[in-house]
Each structure stands twice: as structure tokens, then as C-alpha cells.
Amino acid sequence: MSYKRWIIVTVFLFGTGVAFGLATPAGSSLPSEYITTFEEQLASILALPKPLIALFIFLKNTSALLISFVLSPVLCLVPILALIINGWMIAFVSTLVIEEESLGFLLAGLLPHGVFELPALILGQAAALSFGTMAVLALFKKERRNLLIPSLKRNLKYFMVALALLLPAAIIETYITPLLLT
């Protein structure tokens, strides 16, 4: 399957998560102990110097994509779940933010870094799905095994582009997004 089709599959899975997030009733918020733990962790991260915050965001996003790519041969479950859960979370949290603040506030918080981060997620997960599928096929079809290494090399190129997009996303999220939200 061409890489363009993997992008379409990835966007569909992410969109499915968004649809679930929008369909989740706004009254069904997360338990307060999760919110408290998240707020405490976020406060400790935000206490760091800005360059370390940007590095933390970059490494967190990079490791999430890397784990998804490495584990993709396990029936592509990790990339599929990552796309659906990320889509769900963005939509669910977005509805809460719009209720509490405004659409403008949400867009100011998401768009500047999301212009880089969302394509990075889509490209990285498409590469993971493409490679994971080829690995599964190579496991069951002997004639596909010689295609595994070329598939890995091709998908690693797309994966590296995704990682490169995460760097400006982390910098913008650290330095520009807070200015737009104040």
C-alpha cells in the first residue's frame, strides 16, 4: 500500500478518536484524583527553566512516537490506540476548554504548535502502521520477508521527518503558546 494511503488510514483513525471525544458527554469528566495528580506533575514541569520544558516536551513526544513505531509489529495495536486516544483526548479536552474559556482561547492554545505537532503525529503513526503491517505480513508470508528491510528504511525516513517536526512544535509550545494564553 502506498504511503499516501497510510496517511488516509491514520487520519481516519485519528478522526474516529475525535468523533468519540466529541460524543463523550461533557459532564463525564475525569476523576478528581487524576486531575490533581496531573496538575501536580504539570506544576513541577512548569517550574523548570524554559529550555528544559521544551526539551521535556520534545522528548515526551519523541518517545511516544518511538514506542509506537517499535511496537507496531504487534498487530499495529499501539499506533491504532495512540491515534484514537490522542484524537479522543484532544476533542474531549477541547470541549471542556471551550465551555470554561472560549473557542479563541482553545485555538490560541492549540494552533501555533499543533500546526507542527499534528502532522508529526500523522506522519509518524502512518510510518508505524506501514512498517508494522509489513512486519506482520513478513511473519506469515515467506515471499514478503525480503521486503521488510526496504520497508523499514522507507518508513524510517518518514519517521525522521515526523521527529523533526516535533522540535519546532516543542519550542512553540514552550515559548509562544503561553504568551497567547495570557
Q: Is the pLDDT of residue 146 over 70?
A: yes
The stretch 54-61 carries a mean pLDDT of: 97
Q: How confident is the model at residue 38 (pLDDT cuts 50, 70, 90)?
A: confident
Q: Please give the model's pTM, rounded to 2 decimal places.
A: 0.91
Q: Is the pLDDT of residue 172 over 90?
A: yes
Task: Convert the pLDDT of each residue in 3-12 to its tens digit.
Answer: 999 999 999 9
Q: Is the pLDDT of residue 62 over 70?
A: yes
- pLDDT for residue 182: 82
Asked if 116 and 169 count as a contact pair (C-beta separation under 8 A), the reply is yes
- pLDDT for residue 27: 62
- pLDDT for residue 1: 78
CA distance 118 to 124: 10
Domain ranges (residues) in the chain: 3-181
| Amino acid in the structure at residue 49 | P
CA distance 157 to 110: 27
